[in-house]
A and B are shown apart, each in its own frame.
Chain A
Amino acid sequence: MTALSQETVSATRTAAGIPFILKKAFLSALVALVLFSLMIGIRTEAGPDGQLTYWTRFGELASIVGIVFGGSILIELARQWIGPIGAEKLVPPAVHRGMSILGNYLAPALLIFTLLVPVIFYNQRYILDLAILVLTYVMLGWGLNVVVGLAGLLDLGYVAFYAVGAYSYALLATNFGWSFWICLPLAGILAAMWGVMLGFPVLRLRGDYLAIVTLAFGEIIRLVIINWQSLTGGPNGVTGIPRPTLFGIPLDNSDDGLAAKLGIEYSPTHRIVFLFYLILALALLTNWVTIRLRRLPIGRAWEALREDEVACRALGINTTTTKLTAFATGALFGGFAGAFFATRQGFISPESFTFQESALVLAIVVLGGMGSQLGVALAALAMIGGFELFRGLEIYRMLVFGWAMVLIMIWRPRGLIGHRAPTVYLKKAQAISSDLVKEGHG
C-alpha cells in the first residue's frame, strides 16, 4: 500500500498531474458505484403482509459516488501537497523531543495516578468499575505480550487461558469452598498447564499456521465449557462464586466483616476498592515478572526466538523448552486474570470467553507496540476506556475504532510505543540512540 502510494506520487510528478488524479478518482468512484449499488441503491423491506417490497434510491447512490469522487481528488491533492514522506514531516522535531522527555516521566506518573484512583474517585462507582475493567485488560495485555510481543508466537486463542483460570477458581471455590488465595495460584498453574498442552502440538508451527491452531484451541475450550454441562453448568454458567476476602476477613457488613473489625461504617465501595488494588497488584506482578525475565537468559532467548529460530538453535538454545515456557508464562498470567474476573463478577458463563476477547487483547498488544509494557498499558486504557466513552454513540464506536486502528497502523506501524529498550549495558548505562536511527527492516 505504501509502496503503491509512493509510486503514484512519483508518477504524478513526472506525468501530467490532472489526468492522473481524474483517472484515480474515476476508478474510486467506479468501485463505490459497484459496492453501494445494492447496499444503498436498492432498499428492501418486509411489506405489511410479510412480502418483500423494495424501491430504488438512485439519488442517494449518486451523491455517495459523487462524494467518493470528490474525496479521492482531495486526498490525492493533499498527498501531493504533503509529499511522499507523509505524516512524519507534519510533526515538528521540537514536539518529538518534548514527547520523548515526557515519555521518561509518563510511566511513573501513570502509576502514581493509578494508585490514587480510588482516593480521587471514591464516590464514583462507575469510574472505579471502569478502572478495574481497564486494569484487567492491562494485565491480559501484559500476559499476552510475553507470547506475542517477546516470543513472537501469534496467539489468537489467549481467551482460552482466561477461561481456564476463571472456571478453575469458580469450580474449586463453589465445589470445595476453597478460598480465593488458595485458588488463585491453582488457577494460574492449571492455565499454564493448558499453555504447555497447547504448546506441544504447535511447536513446529509459526506465523499464520500457529495463529489458526491457537484460534481453534480458543474455540475448543469454549465449546467444551458449553457442552460439559455436568461440570461447568454449560451455557448457564457458574453462579454464586464467592467474593474474595482480605486474608480470611470478608468485606461485607456482617459482624466479622472488615468494616466491623475496623470499627468504621460499612460501605459497598470498600469491596470495589479492594478489588481495584487486587487487580492492580496482579497486573504489576505480571509487569515486574516480565521485566525481570527479559533480563534473564530465558527472556533474551524468547526475543531471539522471535528474531531468528535457526540462529537460536546454532547458539545452543533449546527452542522447544523456550517456546513452551513462553506459552506457559503467558497462560499463567491469563489464568490469574481469569480467576480475578470470576471473583469480581460472581458469575461466569461461556459468553464471556468468545473470540472477540482474544481479538481485543491481541489488538491491545499490537496497538501498544509489541513488547512494550507501557505501550500495552496505554493501548488498554485507550481501547477499553474509549469503548466506554463512546457508549452513547453505540452505532459509531466500531467505526471510530476501525479508523483509529488504521490511522495508528499508518503513522506508527510498530504500535504506540515501538521503541524496544535494550536489556544489556556496557558497565554504565548509555543513552540509546537506536530509536533515532531510521528503521532498516525486521
Chain B
Amino acid sequence: MTAASPLLAIRGLRAAYGKIEALKGVDVEINSGEIVALIGANGAGKSTLMMTIFGKPRARAGQILYEGKDITAVPTHEIAHLRIAQSPEGRRIFPRMSVAENLQMGADVTDSTPAERESTLERVFALFPRLKERFAQRGGTLSGGEQQMLAIGRALMSRPRLLMLDEPSLGLAPLIARQIFDAIRTLNRQDGLTVLIVEQNANHALKLAHRGYVMVNGLITLAGSGAELLQRPEIRAAYLEGGRHA
C-alpha cells in the first residue's frame, strides 16, 4: 500500500451542527483497493464524517483530498459525479418506487453508456440475486435486508471508485448481515473497489477491513490494521465484550 497518494485523504477536518462540534480535527487516509472500517460509539461522529465528505454539513476547517484534488468545497450533488457513492444510514431507498427505478436512480447521475449500465446491473444482480427476483416490486415492500442490498446496489449503479457504507448491518439478522459483508468483500477482491465502512458492529467490520480507525467524541483515537485493532484490549473492552466505553 502506497501511503504517498491515497485515494481519499482527510486532513484536520472539523465540522459542526450549529454550536456543537461533531468533528474536532479528523485525519483519515484511504488507499486505493482498501477496505477501511470506522468504528466508534453512538455520537462519536462517524456518520458526520461520512456526510462531511459529501459536503453536508460543510467542513469548517481542514481538507478533503480525493485523487489529490481538494473537494472540500465541491457542491454535494457534484461529489457523486466524482464516482464516490454512498449508501446512507438507515438505507433511505425510495419506498414508492420500484426496485428497478431505485437502481436506475443510481445510474442516472453518471454518463455511462447503456452497455456499461447493463453490465453494472448484471453485476449487482450477481451479488444480490434477490434484487432480480424483486425487480418490479415497490422498494417499500422489501424486507430490511433486501432494502440494504438495494441501497448498496443503487450506490454501485453509479460505477463508483470509492463506496461509502453507513451502518450496513443496522437492524439486520446476523445471517443477513453476514451476506452483506460477504458481498462487500467480494466487491473489494474481485472488482478492486475501495470501501469505507462505518459500523457499530466492530467485530464484523474489523475482520472485514484491511485497516480501521476508532473514533471517540469527534477525534480519531486509534488506528491500525483490522487484525491489530481486534487484538487491542481497550477495543475488546469497549466494543466487543459489551464493556464500558473507553
Name the one of A300, A313, A434 contacting B104, with C-beta atoms under 8 angstroms.
Answer: A300
A-B contact count (CB 8 A): 99
Enumerate chain A residues within 8 angstroms of B54, measured Cβ to Cβ: 313-314
Residues in B neighbouring A43, C-beta threshold 8 A: none
CB distance from B15 to the nearest CB of A (A): 16
A-contact bits for B73-100, CB 8 A (1 contact / 0 none): 0011111110000101000111111101
Instruction: Spot the interface stretch: A23-31, A113-121, A193-201, A424-432.
Output: A424-432
**B138 within 8 Å of A (CB atoms):** yes
B101 at the interface (CB under 8 A from A): yes
- Comparing B3-11, B105-113, B205-213, B230-238, the segment that makes contact with chain A is B105-113
- A303 lies within 8 A of B88 (CB): no
B97 surroundings in chain A (CB, below 8 A): 300, 303-304, 307, 422
Interface string of B135-165 (1 = CB under 8 A from A): 1111011000000000000100010000000
Residue ID in chain A nearest B137 by CB atoms: A434
Indicate whether B245 reaches chain A with its CB closer than 8 angstroms: no
**B105 contacts across to A, CB distance below 8 A:** 300-301, 304, 315
Main secondary structure of the interface of A (DSSP, over half): loop
Assess the A424–B104 pair: CB atoms within 8 A.
Answer: yes
- With an 8 Å Cβ cutoff, the count of chain B residues facing the other chain is 35
Cβ-based interface call for A441 (8 A): yes
B141 touches A434 (CB 8 A): yes
Q: Given the known inter-chain contacts A301-B108, A422-B97, A430-B136, please indicate yes or no for A319 contacting B77, CB distance below 8 A.
A: yes
Interface residue tally on A, bucketed by range: 20 to 34
Q: Contact: A314 with B80, CB < 8 Å?
A: yes
B94 touches A430 (CB 8 A): no
Task: Indicate if B189 sits at the interface (CB-CB under 8 A).
Answer: no
Q: Is the CB of B101 within 8 A of A300?
A: yes
Residue with the greatest number of chain A CB neighbours at <10 A, chosen from B79, B132, B135, B138: B138
Q: How far is the CA of A432 from the CA of B88 in the complex (A)?
A: 28
B56 within 8 A of A: yes
A401-425 vs B, CB cutoff 8 Å, 1 = contact: the mask equals 0000000000000000000101111
**Min CB distance, B126 to chain A, in Å?**
15
Cβ of B101 and Cβ of A424 under 8 Å apart? yes
* Residue in B92, B101, B136, B137 whose beta carbon sits within 8 Å of that of A308 in the complex: B92
Contact among A311, A318, A437 with B93 in the assembled complex (CB-CB below 8 Å) = A311
Q: Contact flags (1/0) for A316-354 with B, using CB distance below 8 Å? A: 111100000000000000000000000000000000000
Taking a contact as CB atoms closer than 8 A, the residue among B77, B93, B101, B154 that contacts A422 in the complex is: B101
